Amino acid sequence: MAVFFASVLPQFTAPGEGMASTLTFAWLAAYAIAISTAGRLLRAPRAQRAIEAVSGTVLIGLGAKIAADAR
């Protein structure tokens, strides 16, 4: 990502608009760090159990609704 912003993006910006590419790079770098952190948190065993519990509850609820609507 750094190589792309340093070599390709400046060609498409007007002279004196270098700050836009710097801000875009900073935003995407912060976004990548946030996604990495969220992924690490979601892979924790406690988070996995919570996700499975919520998914199971939703699936059971949907199954019960379908069974009740069929009658």
Mean pLDDT rounded to a whole number for the chain: 86
pLDDT of residue 40: 95
- Concatenate the DSSP letters of all residues of 9-63 into one string: GGGGS-TT-HHHHHHHHHHHHHHHHHHHHHHHHHTSHHHHHHHHHHHHHHHHHHH
pLDDT of residue 28: 85
> What is the Cα Rg of the chain in Å?
23
pLDDT of residue 70: 66
pTM score above 0.75: no
Residue 19 has pLDDT above 90, yes or no: no
pLDDT of residue 71: 63
pLDDT of residue 43: 95
